[in-house]
Amino acid sequence: MDYSRALNALDRPTLTQQVSKQIMISQRCIPLASCAEWKAALEGIKHAFAHTWENCHAMHLTTGFRTYLYCFETENVRIVCPIAEREFEGYIDIVTPYGFSGFVGTGECPDFPRYWREFVGERGYVCGYIGLNPILENKTYFDSNELYSYNSIYVLDLTLSRDELFSNLSKNRKRDLKQWEKTSGNLITDKNALKAFFLANYSEFFRRKRATSAYDFRKATLEFLFDLKNVFILGAGRSNRLEAATVFTYTSDIADALLHASLAEERQHSAALLWHGANYFKSMGIPLLNLGGGVRANDSLAWFKERFGGRKLSLRCLKQIYNPEIYATLCAQVGADPADRTGYFPAYRSLGTLPSTV
């Protein structure tokens, strides 16, 4: 496939319609340039911050990928999913932008996987990596044989009382919070100071943690996020000296602990920041807080979050191949096994030519 021709085809508005048993089906891609249309498509659908135009625009500022909100509609169901297009050797594959997004909709639709396959075939995509949000996952939206687990997240039920939430904490977390209140100082909510702290310390913090390139955001991405009304930054320190900060994002359905940074050897604030963040969102009436998981499965960060007593959910993704012949050809060019979907996907990107979203 000639990539320039493929892009020209994708530049044309995509709207497929068909009548099946008197039911009108429409599928379209809403570009970032159509902010109002994007937001309208999300109305009435439970979704996370990762589904929003704001998040996808922020991630585009780092990746530069052509990014859309895919939208499927029938008379009774609407399903959406953010996708970003990536080029490789003249061909295009798709990936969900950074965050916990994936397919979400207004109801069940067992026929949806077939319509999705028709759509991606018309777009000429080779394959797709679709990250799913385990809180919002609908099993009728995908084939189970394309589903792979790769990590876990921990979710707090903020409809519980504050006493119940505290009771669910492990002994170590309770001890950490009590010790913090006695010795560590104060919370800091000055957004300008928090923005400056995070921008100054974020890269070094994740270098120390040996985080993957998925967290290698450009300054423009972070600055855009920090100025959004549905992004909350909470900091902590002693004697008005900022030593740590946590970035939360939220919709009316779910809050997410998105990012954290601290000075070297200043880890004593982490539990307090998550605990006070949880109480902040509880006061807003948001029912769930996704604490996230570890940078890697079962690492020390995952262990730390597990001790908050939330529900552990398997973090899963779809690894879909739409054009097996082209996929096998691209894998052969880099010596990858096209039949192996257990590792990095797509396998022809296994050398890490572009940042992963996992």
Q: What residue has token string 């990107």?
A: 349
CB 69 within 8 A of CB 41: yes
Which of 221, 246, 242 has its CA nearest to residue 233? 246
pLDDT digits (tens, 9 = 90+) for 184-210: 668 999 999 999 999 999 988 888 877
What's the rounded mean pLDDT across residues 81-102?
97
Res 20 pLDDT > 60: no
Q: Which two tokens stand for residue 183?
A: 């010795």
- pLDDT tens-digit map of 274-285: 999 999 999 999
- State the DSSP code for 140: G
Return d(Cα 337, Cα 89) in angstroms, integer.
17
* Dist. CA 233–CA 227, nearest whole Å: 10
| pLDDT higher than threshold 60 for residue 2 | no
DSSP conformation letters of 221-252: HHHHHHTSTTEEEEEEEETTEEEEEEEEEE-S
The pLDDT of 248-269, averaged and rounded, is 91
The dihedral over CA atoms of 195, 201, 203, 207, expressed in degrees to the nearest 10, equals: -150
**Does residue 141 sit in helix, strand or coil?**
helix
Sign of CA dihedral 327, 329, 334, 335: positive
pLDDT at 171 over 80: yes
Can you give the pLDDT at residue 357?
A: 34
Token pair, residue 125, equals 């995509």
The pLDDT of residue 356 is above 50: no
Cα–Cα dist 10/31, whole Å: 11
Q: What is the pLDDT of residue 351?
A: 64
What does the pLDDT read at residue 22?
Answer: 54
Domains of the chain: 3-142+323-349 (no CATH), 153-313 (3.40.630.30)
Q: How far apart are the first and last CA of the chain?
A: 28
User: Which pLDDT belongs to residue 169?
Assistant: 97
User: What pLDDT, on the 0 to 100 scale, is given for residue 8?
Assistant: 40
Q: For residue 221, is pLDDT > 70?
A: yes
Between residues 16 and 35, the one the model is more confident about: 35
What does the mean pLDDT of the chain come to?
90
Q: How confident is the model at residue 264 (pLDDT cuts 50, 70, 90)?
A: confident
4, pLDDT greater than 50: no
Residue 355, pLDDT above cutoff 60: no
Q: Which two tokens stand for residue 291?
A: 């604490």
Answer whether 286's CB lies under 8 Å from 253's CB.
Answer: yes
pLDDT tens for each residue of 283-325: 999 999 999 998 777 888 899 999 999 999 999 999 999 999 9
